[in-house]
Structure 1
Amino acid sequence: MGNREDLMAGAKRCLYEKGYGRTTARDIAAASGVSLAAIGYHFGSKEALLNAALIEATGEWGETLATVVAGATAASGDPEERFIAVWDGVKDTFVEHRGLWAAQFEAIAQIAHAPELEKALGESQRMARLGLAALFQGLPEVPDTEEELARGMFYQALLAGMAALWMAAPDQAPTGRDFLRGLRLVGDSALKPAAS
């Protein structure tokens, strides 16, 4: 690997171990075995490197998620059982990727004071939503339409919500079956006319 790749790997390791806000440029340099000056040369700033590392690490988690979805699809042709298996599998990924989710929530909390982070995360939203829409439907890709973006946004909200619940109290986080029941209840009540 070259210095740029070493810095990226070191930054991802720091995100998992120290979090977004507590990682210093010196931490990244030490974790990557690269000089402190190399951060500025390759990325311009520690923040730009951390933002790139956060987005890349999230993409790597997406590959793990794809494996979970594929496994659930192969295990059962029943849509309900597949839904349950997918969300149980999603929950299982949080154990290995806890540091990533903690760093994401920490970064989001700092977004009001970090315009470069807001820009980096904002630019990745459309592709993330389309990717989730495709992934959860078992498709290689979906068209860039408002319908698919809405579908992806729904999955994104479910993922973030489940991650937040799991981070706060892993033993109380919903199961796939809980999610399916909640979806049915919300769907039934949301589509009924309001009582007068």
Structure 2
Amino acid sequence: MGNREDLMAGAKQCLFEKGYARSTARDIATASGVSLAAIGYHFGSKEALLNAALIEATEEWGSVLAAVVARASEASDDPAERFVAVWDGVLGTIAEHRGLWASQFEVMLQADRVPELREALAGIQKEGRLGLSALFQGLPEVPDTEEELSRGIFYQALLVGLAGQWLATPDLAPRGQDFLRGLELVGGSVLKPKGTAADGPQWHGPTG
């Protein structure tokens, strides 16, 4: 690898082991095996490097997640069973990539005080939501529409909530069956059962 790639690898290692705020430029240079000056030359600042590393690490986790969701989706023809299998698989990827998720939450908490972080998060927010909408529907991509963004927001809320609960109390984090039961209860109390009215939102049951 070249110095730029080495720096990205070293920055990701520091993010996972030390977190965003505690990773110094010297830490990254040491982990990368390159000089401190190389950070400024290739990225301009330590923060820019960490932001780029976090985005790349998230994209790499996304590829892992896509494979897990694809396998889980093939586990059953029943939508409810697929839904449970998918979210159990998602939980597994969060556990395997704890350092990434801990850094993600750290960054989110600091975003309101660091303009560069806020801009970096805003830049990938929409793309991430559309990506989640496509992923959980088993599609390569989805159009940039209000419906798909809303679907992505829903999945994003579940995903971030699951990660946060697992980081706080792994033994009490919800499983796929818990999500399914919650979806049934909330959907049943908020949406009208199918066929009870000619208009308004309708509850069609859980889907995968």
The verdict on a shared fold, with TM-score over 0.5 as the criterion, is yes
Measured in 2, the distance between the counterparts of 1:124 and 1:112 equals 16
Measured in 1, the distance between the counterparts of 2:191 and 2:139 equals 28
Measured in 2, the distance between the counterparts of 1:16 and 1:137 equals 30
Aligned position for 2:47: 47
Specify the code of the residue in structure 1 equivalent to 2:104.
Q
Q: How far 1:190 sits from its partner (Å)?
A: 2.1
Q: How does 1:54-133 map to 2 (within 5 A)?
A: 54-133=54-133
Aligned position for 2:33: 33
> Aligned pair 1:146/2:146, yes or no?
yes
Specify the code of the residue in structure 2 equivalent to 1:91.
L
TM-score where L is the length of structure 2: 0.90
> Aligned pair 1:15/2:15, yes or no?
yes
Aligned residues with identical type, % of pairs: 74
Are the equivalent residues in 2 in contact too, given 1:6–1:33 (CA < 8 A)? yes
Are the equivalent residues in 2 in contact too, given 1:20–1:106 (CA < 8 A)? yes
Specify the code of the residue in structure 1 equivalent to 2:145.
T
Specify the code of the residue in structure 2 equivalent to 1:32.
S
Q: How far 1:140 sits from its partner (Å)?
A: 0.7
Specify the code of the residue in structure 2 equivalent to 1:69.
V
Measured in 2, the distance between the counterparts of 1:186 and 1:37 equals 54
Structure showing greater Rg: 2
Are the equivalent residues in 2 in contact too, given 1:55–1:121 (CA < 8 A)? no
Q: How far 1:108 sits from its partner (Å)?
A: 0.7
Measured in 2, the distance between the counterparts of 1:146 and 1:56 equals 26
Measured in 2, the distance between the counterparts of 1:33 and 1:121 equals 28
Aligned position for 1:181: 181
Are the equivalent residues in 2 in contact too, given 1:20–1:103 (CA < 8 A)? yes
Specify the code of the residue in structure 1 equivalent to 2:146.
E
Specify the code of the residue in structure 1 equivalent to 2:94.
F
Q: How far 1:191 sits from its partner (Å)?
A: 2.4
Measured in 2, the distance between the counterparts of 1:70 and 1:20 equals 31
Specify the code of the residue in structure 1 equivalent to 2:49.
L
Q: How far 1:84 sits from its partner (Å)?
A: 0.3
Total equivalences in the alignment: 193
Q: How far 1:189 sits from its partner (Å)?
A: 1.8
Deviations 1:163-193, CA, capped at 9 Å, x for gaps: 0010111111101000000011111222269
TM-score where L is the length of structure 1: 0.96
Specify the code of the residue in structure 2 equivalent to 1:100.
L
Measured in 1, the distance between the counterparts of 2:106 and 2:166 equals 15
Deviations 1:16-38, CA, capped at 9 Å, x for gaps: 11011110000110011111011
Deviations 1:144-170, CA, capped at 9 Å, x for gaps: 111101101110110000000101111
